[in-house]
Amino acid sequence: MSEPPGAVVSLDAAAKIPDPSAGAATGLAAGEPARPAHAQRVQPLRRPGRWIATAVVLVLAAQFVHGLATNKFYQWDRFAYWFTRPTILDGLLVTLEVTALSAVLGLLGGVLLALARLSRSPVLRAVGWLYVWAFRSIPLIVVLIFLYNFSALYQTLSVGVPFGPAFFRFDESRLATDMVVAVVGLSLNEAAYAAEVVRGGVLSVDQGQHEAAAALGLPRGYRFTRIVLPQALRSIVPNYVNQLIGLVKATSLVFYVSLLDLFGTAQTMGSTYPGDIVPLLLVVTVWYLILTSLFSVAQFYVERHYARGATRTLPPTPLQRLRTALTTARTRLRSEAAI
């Protein structure tokens, strides 16, 4: 069992601090070459403060989990009953639908508003600013209830020449279902925030990039979609996901315009089964946690996609990290077994 010096094996054996005199006599006699100094493992500094803090936090966490599991008040059996009830799932579906539609429409509106705010036209800039100012000032719930009563303000909507003849005329009350009111309200609100996120992203792109694109004679549309936006997305994505997570929770307000989303369903069920209010709230909490987690996972991969070229090497995905950890562990085990 004589191994060449510098083999992987030497790393672990070197953990025992070698005694130079004994090493020369016994170590070599056993067929083991003396360890070169650079192969020795450095003993890490002890950090007792960190250990104490960890212990305290673990105890507190254990207490919390224990309470969560054993406190009768939570009624986990009822939680299990409600968690996948069709009514709850229907509500979840409404939440997802409202979120998805408002996220897409809000982002589209946001991009247009951001372009308006970045435009060279003072009128467009002013309109963009006013919109953002207005919708960031008005509470979302007020916007929603305003829209809910919209048909009282404007009975018909018509498409035609401004101040002139109309080509189409819609009866407002038939057009505005609860779903439409909810999506329009959330989108209007979302667009104001998305506009600022997108504008911030565009501003974060170096001026030299605009100049280089202009100097190459790249058309304006190409410049925005292929040069500026991909770079802006690096800062837009984390901010917009943050915004989206806010949106998921903001959809719980659509209950007030009589749309039964996840939260609304739980509320209704809660008033029918007053004893189940706490488990129903838990059901809602867990579903929102799941939705937020999904967004966070998506965020990681989208961010990674837009990091191309921004960092020299991309951050590893959890899967890649797991694989590396496994390989390292396996080589270490194997090398230990070899000794």
Partner 1 sequence: MSTDVQIPADSDRSAPAAVEVHDVHKWYGAHRVLNGIDLTIRPGEVTVVLGPSGSGKSTLLRVINHLEKPEAGHVSVGGEPIGVRRNGKRLKELSERVILAQRSRIGFVFQNFNLFPHLTALDNVAAAPVATGRLGRGEARELARNLLHRVGLGDRTGAYPRQLSGGQQQRVAIARALALRPGVILFDEPTSALDPELVGEVLSVIKDLAAGGTTLVIVTHEIGFAREVADRIVFLDGGRIVEQGPPAQVLDHPSHPRTRDFLSKVL
Question: 1: helix, coil or strand?
Answer: coil
Q: Which is nearer to partner 1, 117 or 223 (CB)?
A: 223
How far are the Cα atoms of 32, 87, 132, 308, 338 from residue 138, in angstroms, in the given order? Answer: 77, 32, 10, 39, 70
Q: Which is nearer to partner 1, 134 or 216 (CB)?
A: 216
Q: Is 95 in the site for partner 1 (CB under 8 A)?
A: no
Q: Which is nearer to partner 1, 174 or 220 (CB)?
A: 220
Q: Which is nearer to partner 1, 171 or 206 (CB)?
A: 206
Distance in angstroms (rounded) separating the CA atoms of residues 252 and 51: 42
Distance in angstroms (rounded) separating the CA atoms of residues 227 and 112: 17
DSSP H or E segment with residue 156: strand 156-160
Q: Comparing C-alpha atoms, which of 252, 117, 286 is closest to residue 191? A: 117
For the bound state, the minimum distance from the C-beta of residue 110 to partner 1, rounded and expressed in Å, comes to 21
Q: How far is CA 78 from the centre of its chain?
A: 30
Task: Tell me how many residues contact partner 1 (CB under 8 A).
Answer: 24
Site map 98..137 versus partner 1, x via CB under 8 A: ----------------------------------------
For the bound state, the minimum distance from the C-beta of residue 231 to partner 1, rounded and expressed in Å, comes to 6
Instruction: Quickly count: other Cβ atoms within 10 Å of residue 274's Cβ.
Output: 7
DSSP H or E segment with residue 327: helix 318-338
Binding test (CB under 8 A) with partner 1, winner from 6, 160, 275, 309 = 309
Q: Is 86 in the site for partner 1 (CB under 8 A)?
A: no
Site map 194..233 versus partner 1, x via CB under 8 A: ------------x-xx-xxxxxxxxxx-x---xx--xx--
For the bound state, the minimum distance from the C-beta of residue 119 to partner 1, rounded and expressed in Å, comes to 13
Whether the CB-CB separation of 265 and 90 falls below 8 Å is answered with yes
Residue ranges in contact with partner 1 by CB under 8 A: 206, 208-209, 211-220, 222, 226-227, 230-231, 306, 308-312
